Structure 1
Amino acid sequence: MKDTHAGVTALSLFGLLVLWVVAAWLTADATVLPQPWSLLRPFWRETVSGELPYHLGATLLRVVWAFTLAMAIGVTLGLVMGRYPAVNHWLDPWLVIFLNLPALVLIVLCYLWIGLNETAAILAVTLNKIPNVATVIREGARALDPQIDAMAKVYRMSAWARLRHVTLPQLAPFIAAAARSGIAVIWKIVLVVEFLGRSSGVGFQIHLYFQLFDVRMVLVYAFSFITVMLVVEWLVLQPWERRVRRWRGT
C-alpha cells in the first residue's frame, strides 16, 4: 500500500515536471519561465557560497518559532472554548474577527507598532495562525466522548491524568489536522513577512530578485524552501497523523 502511494506521488510530481518543461518550451523565453535544469547551476552556486543555507535557515527558524507558539496557544484556547460554553460565547466574536482579518493587515500593524524586528515578524505570523488552530481544536473538544470523560471521573483520575490519557488522545487527530494545515499556512505567511520587512530569509531573497526581474533566482529560492517543507510534510506530519488515527481504526 505504501509503495503504491509513493509510486503515485512520484508519478504525479513527474507529471508536474513535464508540464513545466512543456510550458517553458512553449514560452520560449528563459526570462519568463526557464527550463527546470537551468536552475541547477544557480542553485549550486548559492549553496556553495552559503547564501542559500543562511537564508533558508533564517526562514526555517521563524517557521519553527511561529508554529510552536501558534499550536501551543491555539490548542489551549480551542480546548477551553470547546469545553466551556460560557468562555466560547465571550471569545467567539474575537475568533471570528481574527479569522477574517487579512494577514497583510496584521503584518503591517505589528511592524508599525513593534518595529522591523524578529519579535514583530514572529508575532505577526503567530497571530495569523492561532484562530485557525483554535477553531479546529474547539470542534474536536466539542466532539469528545462524554462517557469516557464520566468514566475518568468515576475512577477519580487527576486533572493531569484525564488530560493526558483521556482528552489528548481523542484530540490527537484534530491536533494533527491543525498542525498539517498550520505548517502550510505559516511558511507562506513567513515569506510575506520577510518580503515586507526583514533583511534575511527566503522571502527577502525573493524580494531582492523580484526587483532585479530574475525569475530563475526567484524559482531557486522558492523551490528550495518548498522542497524542505514537502520533506517535513511527508516524513514527519503525514506519518504522525496516520499514527494518531490508528486508535480510531481510520
Structure 2
Amino acid sequence: MQHQDTADRRTGQSPGPAARPFDRVDQIGQIGKIGTTGTSLALLLLIWVVAATLTRDPATLPQPWALISPFLSELRSGELMFHLGKTLSRVIWAFVLAMSLGIALGLAMGRNPRLNRWLDPWLVIFLNLPALVLIVLCYLWIGLNETAAILAVTLNKIPNVTTMIREGARALDPALDAMASVYRLPWRKRMRHVVLPQLAPFITAAARSGIAVIWKIVLVVEFLGRSNGIGFQIHLYFQLFDVAMVLIYALSFVTVMLAMEWLVLQPVERRVRQWRQE
C-alpha cells in the first residue's frame, strides 16, 4: 500500500477512491447552493404575489403571471431583443474600457508611491462625484450620442476599479518581485507569472462589482439621452404609467445580468481562488 502511494506521488496521479468522497461533498454543496438560491427566488416571487394581492390594483402592481402575455408580445415583435441588445452592447463596451483603464491606472498607482500621491486627490474627487453629474456633463460637452453615453459610464466606473487594483498592487509579495528581478524576467513574463496571478482576486472582485454598477448607470444614461435601449423603454412606459411594461423590460435585463453573474463571473472567480484552497 505504501509503495502504491509512493508511485502515485511520483507519477503525479491522485488515488481515485480517496478523492471520491471529496468530490461527492463538493457536488452535494453545489446542489445545496442551487436549492437555496431557488428557494430564495421562490420566496421573493411569493412576496410579489402577496403584495399584488393586497394592492388589488393591476395598474399599480400586476401579478407575475399577468406579465407573460405582454412579454411574449414584445418578444415576438422583436422590440425586446432589439433594445436588450443595444443596452448589452453599451454595458460590454463600458465594462471593457473601465476594467482596462482601471487595472492599468490602479497598478501604476499601487507600484509607484510618487504617482499615487499626485493622482490620489483626483481619485477621491471622481469617487465622490455623483454619476448623474458626469452623465449630464458628457451629454452637454459631447452631445446626445453613443460616444458620450459610453464615456459617461466608463468615467463613473474607472475610480472604483482603480481603487481595488491599487490595494491589490500594494499587497503584492515583494519576495516574488525580487525573485523575478534576480531571474531577469521580461516585463510580459513578470506580469503574466508574478503580478497578474496575485492581482486575480482583486480583478475578479472589481469585475463582479463593476458589472453590477455599470448596467445600472447605463440605464440612467439611456433614460436621459438615448433613443433606444432598456432605459429608454422604461422612460417611455414611465410616461405612459404602464407599470407592467416597466417591469417586463427591467426584469428581462436583470435576468440577463444574473445569468452573466452565475454562468460567467462566479465560475471565473471560483477558478481564480482555487489555488488558495489547495
TM class by shorter chain equals over 0.9
* Match 1:169 to one of 190, 197, 202: 197
**Structure 2 counterpart of 1:67, from 66, 88, 95:** 95
Counterpart residue type for residue 229 of structure 1: M
Cα deviation 1:164-198 (Å, max 9, x = unaligned): 10000000000000000000000000000000000
Once the two structures are TM-superposed, the CA of residue 247 in structure 1 deviates from its matched residue by 1.5
Aligned to 1:120: 148
Letter in 1 for 2:163: T
2:258 equivalent to 1:211: no
Alpha-carbon separation, structure 2, partners of 1:249 and 1:135: 26
SS at match of 1:200: coil
For residues 167 and 65 of structure 2, the distance between their equivalents in structure 1, rounded to whole angstroms, comes to: 46
Where does 1:23-42 land on structure 2 (aligned, <5 Å)?
A: 23-42=51-70
Q: Per-residue deviation at 1:38?
A: 0.4
Between the aligned partners of 1:9 and 1:42, the Cα distance in structure 2 is: 27
**Deviation of 1:6 (Å):** 0.7
Q: Does 1:178 align with 2:206?
A: yes
**What's the counterpart of residue 74 of structure 2?**
46
Could you tell me which residue of structure 2 aligns to residue 241 of structure 1? 269
Matched, 1:187 2:215: yes
For 1:111 and 1:248, locate their aligned partners in 2 and report how far apart those are by CA, in whole Å: 45
| 1:105 lines up with 2:133 in the alignment | yes
| 2:25 paired residue number | none
Measured in 2, the distance between the counterparts of 1:226 and 1:138 equals 30
The count of aligned residue pairs is 250
Measure how far apart 1:53 and its partner are. 0.2
Deviation at 1:153, TM superposition (A): 1.1
User: SS of the counterpart of 2:35?
Assistant: helix
Q: In the TM superposition, what is the alpha-carbon distance from 1:99 to its structure 2 partner?
A: 0.2
SS of equivalent to 2:57: coil
CA distance in 1, matches of 2:165, 2:209: 12
Query: In structure 2, what is the Cα distance between the partners aligned to 1:168 and 1:247?
Result: 14
Q: What percent of counterpart residues are identical?
A: 74
SS across alignment from 2:60? coil
SS state of the match for residue 245, structure 1?
Answer: helix
2:164 counterpart letter in structure 1: V
Structure 2 residue corresponding to 1:131, chosen from 131, 141, 159: 159
Aligned residue for 2:110, secondary structure, equals helix
Secondary structure in 2 matching 1:75: helix
4+ residue segments displaced more than 6 Å: none
Please tell me whether residue 140 in structure 1 is matched to residue 168 in structure 2: yes
User: What is the RMSD computed on CA atoms of the aligned residues?
Assistant: 0.7
* Match 1:79 to one of 76, 85, 107: 107
How far, CA to CA, are the matches of 1:77 and 1:188 in structure 2? 24
The amino acid of 2:136's aligned partner reads V
SS at match of 2:227: coil
TM-score (norm 2): 0.89
Question: Structure 2: how far apart are the matches of 1:141 and 1:111?
Answer: 34
- Per-residue CA deviation, residues 192-218 of structure 1 (Å, 9 max, x unaligned), is 000000000000000000000000000
- For 2:218, what is the secondary structure of its paired residue? helix
Other-structure match for 2:121:
93
Query: Counterpart of 2:172 in structure 1: which amino acid?
Result: L
Letter in 2 for 1:57: G
Distance 2:175 2:276 in 1: 16
What SS does structure 1 have at the residue aligned with 2:248? Answer: helix
Cα distance in structure 2, aligned partners of 1:242 and 1:90:
36
